[in-house]
Amino acid sequence: MKMLIITAVAAYQEEIVALLKKSKISAFSSTPILGHVNQEDPNLEDNWFGSEAQQNQSMLYFALLAEDQIKGVFEAVEEINQKAQSKSRIHLSVMGVEQTN
């Protein structure tokens, strides 16, 4: 089992929920979060949020998935990121889950 973690600015909320449903993710959780940017970082090209704002309204999504579900979600996120008009991207990570009850 894997834990899927998605973070993105709040503007992507509808797209992310739609892609999770389209990917047949039957249950997932989300919560609003506040992202922070260190303005002193000289490399703003690598800015996680794609803007110079010090705080960004963002969302965190997570779900427990079978390993065979992960590839489709990664492909869907990559497609959205390639088509995006914004510098901000959807960020996706996967963690192994050793045990759950």
pTM: 0.81
Cα dist from 7 to 4, 27, 87, 98, 100, whole Å: 10, 17, 14, 22, 23
> Quick one: pLDDT at residue 41?
56
Q: Which two tokens stand for residue 48?
A: 């996680």
Tokens 């992507």 map to which residue? 12
Domain span at residue 85?
Answer: 2-38+45-96
> Quick one: pLDDT at residue 46?
53
30 located within any domain: yes
3-state SS class at 60: strand
On average, the pLDDT of the chain sits at 85
Residue 47 phi, psi (nearest 5): -60, 125
> Quick one: pLDDT at residue 40?
64
26 located within any domain: yes
**pLDDT above 50 for 58:** yes
**pLDDT above 50 for 47:** no
54 located within any domain: yes
CATH code, domain carrying 55: 3.30.70.120
Domain count, the chain: 1
101 located within any domain: no
Q: Which pLDDT band holds residue 87 (cuts at 50, 70, 90)?
A: confident
89 located within any domain: yes
22 located within any domain: yes
Positive or negative, the Cα torsion across 53, 16, 69, 33?
positive
